[in-house]
Structure 1
Amino acid sequence: MSATMSGETDVTDPGAMGEAEFTALVERHRRELHVHCYRMLGSFDDAEDAAQETFLRAWRRRETFEGRSTFRAWLYRIATNACLDMLARRRPEPATGGEVLWLQPYPDRLLDELTADDVDEPETAALARETIELAYVVAVQHLAPRPRAALILRDVVGWPAKDVADLLGDSVNSVNSALQRARAGMREHLPAERQDWTGGDDDADNRELVRRFTEASVATDIDAIASMLRDDVRFAMPPSHGLTVGRDAVIADWVGDGYTQMTGLRPVPTSANRQPAVAYYLWRDDSDAYLPLTLDVLRISGGQVTEVTIFDSDRFPSLGLPGRLEADGPEAGR
């Protein structure tokens, strides 16, 4: 989604604005900037911090806006620098081995806040969807911070190389070279069948597969589950260490953890990162209710589950999921 595309309001002198007026102006771009920070950082919570830092810096430096770029592009510059500063403080090294321990899901209900101006062309909307899926976000985290910024600003936000070079303090040749290396790194970590991704749950066959997979999961029917996993399925559970690859290895992992003895599950369908997801609740006698357990985000390709990423229940509030389900109450989200 280009930071210089339509939908930009002419801004002549933000330095003369009062706080309320300036805040209202910045708020128009809040969600897209938050999503930008999320792509950079891979963590929803870190993106929250970076977005807040962006707005604080923008207010403090509002008099530095000279109108040589759009106001939106000016905010993107500030947001990118805020993310680079955060990466320098918190994670000087990129992810390794396919793991991203700090990975968190991005709720679709918040992605729905992106306006038509943010994704105003069919190609742009497809790109925005493709580059928010977990596999893309994970692959990005394997890049060093500055090549990561170059890749996102060039390939997602749509900036010219000259503008990226100006932000990073490099030459255009350096940016183009970094971009080539970043794209090569992405190809190394992205799924081979990326062009065939189905991602969301808007396809009838996908919805049916998710329904059957959910039913088998509640019944802990390991054979039925295995029949829906592709042979090279990937499984991760951030922030726990370990990436498991292959149907047999994944099934052995789940059986070894005692999954087949689990009873009292109740599922609530949802979505995250434009992918189908299922929130699971577990019956607790001491609470006389079903309480949050895990959030499973699925990637589907070619009619099979190709990736399962399981997140802790602390992600439920950001997805707008209830804190408990009553024994005789309807399942939320149906």
Structure 2
Amino acid sequence: MKDQSVVSWSEKMRSVEKEYKRTIEPFRKDLWWYCYRLTGSPWDAEDLVQETLLKSLSMLTKVFQELNLKAYLFRIASNLWIDQCRKGKAAIAGGYEIEWKQDTDASNNLEVIESLDYLVRRLTPKQYTSLLLVDVFQFCAKEAAEILGSTQGAVYANINRARVVLSELNNDLPSEEQLNVQDSSANSATLERLLEGFEKKDPNLIAALLDENVVTEITHAGIEYGKDETLKNSLNDWTQVAAGQGSLRASIAELWGRTVVVESEIKDDGDYLNNIHFIEIEEDRIVYWKFYCFSWELLNAAAVELGLKMNAVNFQGIY
């Protein structure tokens, strides 16, 4: 039996979340790059951004004062990452280097940016975040202290220690540890049929591959439980968008250590990236399907990495 009060609250919360995401939109790009520099992985950065947005929204019910919203978001992200470090869950930063194009007039410390993967291995989490906030993202020491829940003196001490470590860095950087890559040969028949479904724009073929209890996650937009819900929503939306496009190309790629499906539209001047799909398969059925079509920063970085143009310009500012 469905609880209608839960449905009602869900609708209200979606409206509030949508308005909140519109409000923080000017800071999303810097937040994503900050999370990327913390985690060293675009995938982990996307997860940290999503967790930051969810927690920052829920925490607002307990805040009774005016906020510097950008600093507030960076504080939540910093605390989440530091907590993960303390619990031993945070990945080692580094390994996937993508070009950073920040819209700012500030003169960033390029030496720091180029050495972050080295520094994160040799600094405490607070030393690392202090350096990142001040030397890369141009927060003043007072703002960095507020973000980290610390003092200006502690921030200065952390930065000084980090700069000493940076000064010791020579040209012989240690080699990066290779991350485990998902076996792309597993369930290859299911993946091949999925690629065929994309290229033929055939929702029935795709639907036939879904497990009855599939979980479909549209990053930053929603989550669906079960095949029926996915058919009614995400797959239906994809079908309508695909119908208005030209020929599609779907391929399997290794992107930043993860096996993904790359979906693009074929145009006269090349392929344009539509979406990145992460798929988990059990017993020839898709049990988890994650869309990144609303992950603007990640898609831009992926397009550069894959040598594609961007097709989803309409997704910027969906909030």
Smaller-chain TM-score range? 0.3 to 0.5
Higher relative contact order (CA 8 A, sep 6+): 1
Give the alignment's TM-score, normalised by structure 2. 0.48
Give the alignment's TM-score, normalised by structure 1. 0.46
